A and B are shown apart, each in its own frame.
Chain A
Amino acid sequence: MNIGEVLLNLWESSGLYALFGADGWKNLIMILVSFVFLYLAIKKKFEPLLLVPIAFGILLANLPGSQIMTDTVGLTDTTVSTAAAEAAGAHWYESGVLRLLYTGVKSSIFPCLIFLGIGAMTDFGPLLSNPVSLLLGSAAQLGIYIAFLLAIAFGFTGPEAASIGIIGGADGPTSIFVTTMLAPNLLAPIALAAYSYMALIPIIQPPIMKALTTEKERKVKMTQLKKVSKTEKIIFPIFVLVVSALILPDVIPLLGMLMLGNLFKECGVTDRLSDTAQNALTNIVTIMLGLCVGATANGKDFLTVKTIEIVILGLVAFIFSTVGGVLFGKLLYALTKGKINPLIGSAGVSAVPMAARVSQKVGSQYDPTNFLLMHAMGPNVAGVIGSAVAAGFLLSLFG
């Protein structure tokens, strides 16, 4: 072997060769996308807790020669025959490390555990002291159905359209939960779109909120919320679960975990469990979920026309959910003779607490003494329940 052949072999085995080979440009695009996401997360601080693991997952999966999502025995990759792989002596533990973790996404364990943490972090007090928030939370699910219809128009099947529509619930765990059941083939683009748009809520929502409201409406100061008793806070999660389960049993895994987490927080006798669910557990699952969701975006399989359509429909879903919430907020503003600030309607899209923070931020731009955060938390947590109920409806429709 002469020096020329050695150098050629070295070049052909390098990552650069793979990157500029067939389809390598797709990985290159995804690597650039991951850099943009990292920039937005670190420099612009757009939900860094979500966006950093997602962006890094994209980077890991698209680096040339990366084996991080290899599926040796068809753990979650349906294109791999488990029987044939096992007959050939392959073992599950030889799969890529993120592929092993990905089973937590595919089995819906991670979404449910995230809901447990969200429940433990959620204070339903603002919602209990202003029950009309619940209606704002339902109006802000409009985008789900608009995207569902548009997806049908784009030629997606009913279950696929339902999975795409649920992106409008602005709830990552719910999107994953529904998609794993209805359209597992679309899990990667849907999960990525849902989480990316959740992280980009501070960019997506403000222009819509400003376009649909007048300055007078944006400056409305809402009256202080009344105090809610501890007993009410304990009864609420149990009642919500029972009522929702009686109407739509398919939502039990998600709402069950959400309300269990909330009961940990409110009952006052499980402080240690509440603390674990809120902090350690949620942080661990967020790292694994974020990395896995990002790692599903391998350029070679990910950059397809369908993915682009899903990304567009996801954005449409987010926009219309925001529109639904703000317009219903305007209706309540009119009905209550100016007592409700329509800006809190946009928080009904779920995405706790990012959407509520956006309401606060936009409101304070027009009146720095206006504190809408706690008022926006009502529709915000109502949105979580609303998107879970919408998910239950879609599951019962196509299940």
Chain B
Amino acid sequence: MNHLFLVTDVLQQFSTKGEKLIQGLKFSLVGFLVVFLALAILAIFIKIVDKIFVAKKAKKNAAETDKKESEASAPAEHVSIKKEGTPLPDTESEGELSLVNVDDETAAVIMAIVADRSGIPLNRLEFKSIRLLEDK
């Protein structure tokens, strides 16, 4: 490889050691600056990419939150974990449940399945409505 690489001693044109040293000092300063600037450019690039990714992530998170909120407000079957207050005793329930084209027995089975699958006891779940969806 060194046979193809033509080496030029740019310091050779200076006759005294003092001149060579001064020129060498100039080269050193430029060289140090080049390395610093090259790495600074990379640092700025990383910052920019990071900002893009953070903004993208924030946008994605916001979209997911909106989606969840819209699902929560839908009139279809709605289940939420009762967070406020103390849980009711195991044998008790309270509040109103709207049933649309669903009989009491089916609603009870659905609520039992949801409690079983989610691992959350019935007295901590809140059902707002259970509706039979029409086949399309």
Contact = CB atoms under 8 A, between A and B. Distances in A.
B1 A108 contact: yes
Q: Interface on chain B toward A: helix, strand, loop, or mixed SS?
A: helix
Interface residues of B, number: 37
A145 B29 CA distance: 8
Interface residues of A, number: 53
Given A232-B50, A232-B53, A158 B34 contact: no
A137 B40 CA distance: 10
B118 interface: no
A158 B41 contact: no
B74 interface: no
B108 to A, nearest CB: 46
Q: Interface on chain A toward B: helix, strand, loop, or mixed SS?
A: helix
B28 A243 contact: no
Contacts of B133: none
A79 to B, nearest CB: 15
B11 interface: yes
A184 B7 CA distance: 11
Nearest to B8: A398
A249 to B, nearest CB: 13
Interface string B58-85: 0000000000000000000000000000
A65 B35 CA distance: 46
Contacts of B10: 158, 397-398
B42 interface: yes
Given A108-B1, A389-B34, A135 B43 contact: yes
B46 interface: yes
Most buried by A among B35, B38, B44: B35
Contact of A128 (B31, B32, B36, B46): B46
A27 interface: no
A138 B39 contact: yes
A90 B2 CA distance: 24
A132 B46 CA distance: 10
Contacts, number: 127
Interface stretch (B19-27, B90-98, B120-128): B19-27
Interface in A119-155: 127-128, 131-132, 134-135, 137-139, 141-142, 144-146, 148-149, 152-153, 155
A152 B39 contact: no
B6 interface: yes
A70 B39 CA distance: 43
B47 A131 contact: yes
B86 interface: no
Contact of A385 (B5, B9, B27, B39): B39
A334 interface: no
A51 interface: no
Contacts of B53: 229, 231-232
Interface of B: 1-2, 5-12, 17, 20-21, 24-25, 27-32, 34-36, 38-47, 49-50, 53
* Nearest 10 pairs of A and B residues by beta carbon: A145-B28, A158-B11, A131-B43, A134-B39, A131-B46, A134-B43, A138-B39, A158-B9, A138-B36, A181-B5
16 contacts: A106-B2, A131-B46, A131-B50, A138-B39, A152-B11, A152-B21, A153-B17, A157-B12, A158-B12, A184-B2, A248-B34, A386-B39, A389-B35, A393-B34, A395-B5, A398-B7
Interface of A: 106-108, 127-128, 131-132, 134-135, 137-139, 141-142, 144-146, 148-149, 152-153, 155, 157-159, 161, 180-184, 229, 231-232, 235-236, 239-240, 243-244, 247-248, 382, 385-386, 389-390, 393-395, 397-399
